[in-house]
């Protein structure tokens, strides 16, 4: 059985690594803060103290990190993955980073005979815990097939999109839609509240029709209950939208609606809401409208 290494045990990374462990794969884990490492070690994982150590003990090396510079540092920096990487390994990045950086890393790793997959995920903390993530993969088909048994422990919808960088392009497209849904949901809930109509009943009325989407299925009841704790943090959504806009500029693609949505998520950061859920973008709209969704609206 393939030996797996996992670097980056945040909200999603820890749950992903746990599901890989539960599926029976030997796994070695590393994280800058050690509490998550200790938690997984208590469940049967092995502990490592650097990315280089993870690479030296693994056949498949995963990373799940906040942004492009973090992944570059872990792979190319001192005591990084590249230091101990060897021919025949596969490197898989679950982070959301710039497609250009994914291609750069793939080129660097190929020099050591390591195949690289950019494999960003979608589904939030719930999907990570339940093993139902959507996984979008760029890279060589042969590497994709090698890693497929591990992917199946992580997610339900697993798509090989194309060559290196294609997974990150798919994730950029995903984040365009996610941001649009979060903002639209915030607008419709605030509209209902401001007009004196029960937002909960409005959601019930529209989510079975053309407006149906994952966001309306999952998020409103959490908001009605006053829960804006993160499944996917707002500052990460803002970061992802900045990646989308940078990539769009690189290729000369106009994204006017996404640019406006990015401003709303960046406003969240300025308003002290960076660590709230991305659905809490409703807070910006509430502030502009001078009204707040009432918790009691969860009652029918």
- If asked whether residues 106 and 125 sit together in one domain, one would say yes
Number of domains, the chain: 2
Model confidence at 296, pLDDT cuts 50, 70, 90, reads low
Q: What confidence category does residue 297 fall into, taking pLDDT thresholds of 50, 70 and 90?
A: very low
Range of 82's domain? 4-162
**292 part of the active site:** no
pLDDT, tens digit, for every residue of 22-43? 999 999 999 999 999 999 999 9
**End-of-domain residue from the set 162, 178, 194:** 162
Domain boundary among 139, 162, 185: 162
pLDDT at position 230, please? 93
Write down the pLDDT at residue 299: 45
Q: What's the pTM value of the predicted model, to 2 decimals?
A: 0.93
Angle 256-291-214 from CA coordinates, rounded to 5°: 55
Q: What is the pLDDT of residues 127-169, one digit of tens each?
A: 999 999 999 999 999 999 999 999 999 999 999 999 999 999 9
Q: For residue 179, what is the domain's CATH number?
A: 1.10.1040.10
Q: CATH number, domain at 16?
A: 3.40.50.720
Among the listed residues 48, 297, 96, the one whose alpha carbon sits nearest the alpha carbon of residue 194: 297
Q: Tell the burial category of 217 from Cβ atoms under 10 Å away from its Cβ (0-12, 13-18, 19+).
A: exposed
CB 106 within 8 A of CB 178: no
Residue 78's pLDDT is: 97
Same structural domain, 147 and 17: yes
Q: How far apart are CA 121 and CA 202, in angstroms?
A: 31
Which element (helix H / strand E) includes 93? strand 90-93
Q: Are residues 132 and 234 in the same domain?
A: no
**pLDDT score of 124:** 87
Choosing from 14, 104, 146, 171, which is the catalytic residue?
171
Distance in angstroms (rounded) separating the CA atoms of residues 9 and 40: 10
pLDDT(213) > 90? yes
pLDDT digits (tens, 9 = 90+) for 179-210: 999 999 999 999 999 999 999 999 999 999 99
Same domain? For 203 and 229 the reply is yes
Same domain? 199 vs 100: no
Same domain, residue pair 122 and 253: no
- Taking only the tens place, the pLDDT of each residue in 218-267 is 999 999 999 999 989 999 999 999 999 999 999 999 999 999 999 999 99
Q: What is the pLDDT of residue 100?
A: 96
Cα-Cα-Cα-Cα dihedral sign, residues 213, 292, 201, 299 = positive
């Amino acid at each position: 059985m393939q030996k797996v290494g996992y670097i980056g045990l945040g909200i999603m990374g820890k749950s992903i690594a746990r599901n890989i462990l539960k599926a029976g794969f030997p796994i070695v884990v590393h994280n800058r803060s050690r509490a998550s490492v200790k938690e997984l070690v208590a469940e049967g994982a092995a502990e490592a103290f650097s990315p280089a150590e993870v690479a030296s003990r693994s056949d498949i090396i995963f990373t799940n990190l906040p942004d492009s510079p973090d992944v570059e540092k872990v792979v190319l920096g001192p005591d990084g993955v590249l230091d101990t990487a060897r021919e025949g390994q596969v490197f898989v990045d679950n982070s959301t980073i710039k497609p250009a950086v994914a291609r750069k890393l793939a080129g660097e790793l190929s020099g050591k005979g390591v195949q690289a997959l950019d494999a960003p995920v979608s589904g939030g903390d719930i999907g990570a815990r339940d093993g139902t993530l959507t996984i979008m993969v760029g890279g060589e088909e042969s590497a994709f097939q090698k890693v497929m048994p591990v992917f199946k422990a992580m997610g339900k919808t697993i798509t090989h999109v194309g060559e290196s960088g294609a997974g990150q392009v798919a994730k950029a497209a995903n984040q365009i839609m996610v941001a649009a849904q979060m903002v639209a949901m915030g607008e419709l809930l605030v509209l209902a509240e401001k007009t004196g109509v029960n937002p909960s009943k409005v959601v019930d009325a529209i989510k079975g029709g053309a407006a149906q989407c994952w966001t309306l299925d999952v998020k409103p009841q959490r908001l009605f209950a006053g829960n804006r704790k993160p499944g996917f943090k707002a500052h990460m959504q803002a970061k992802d939208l900045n990646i989308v806009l940078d990539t769009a500029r690189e290729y000369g693609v106009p994204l006017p609606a996404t640019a406006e949505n990015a401003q709303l998520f960046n406003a969240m950061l300025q308003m002290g809401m960076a660590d709230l859920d991305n659905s809490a973008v409703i807070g910006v709209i509430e502030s502009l409208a001078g009204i707040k969704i009432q918790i009691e609206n969860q009652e029918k």
